[in-house]
Amino acid sequence: MFIAIKQHKTAASAKAFVAAVRRTTPFKTRVTWKDHSQALTDRLFGGRTSQPTAEHEFDQLC
């Protein structure tokens, strides 16, 4: 398990976290668990009509 506390909840922080995991672990990342916050995705849930664009920085990284 890899844990890092970030000061800001942004796409840049999420990408930096993934980069740190890749640098420090000898394993290939196969699964990433994440919540669906705006920092991590533009996919909307809960009855909203907007469709995901797949253009969010973190979605593209994953």
List the domain range (segments joined by +) for residue 41: 11-61
pTM summary value? 0.60
**H/E element holding 22?**
helix 11-24
Give me the pLDDT at residue 33, please: 65
* Number of structural domains in the chain: 1
* Residue range 1-43, pLDDT digits in tens: 778 888 888 888 888 888 888 888 888 877 666 666 666 777 6
Q: How far apart are CA 33 and CA 38, in angstroms?
A: 15
Look at residue 3 and tell me if it is in a domain: no
In a domain, 5, yes or no: no
At 26, list the tokens: 């000898």
DSSP state of 31: -
Query: What integer pLDDT is reported at residue 36 of this predicted model?
Result: 60
The answer on pLDDT for 47 being more than 60 is no
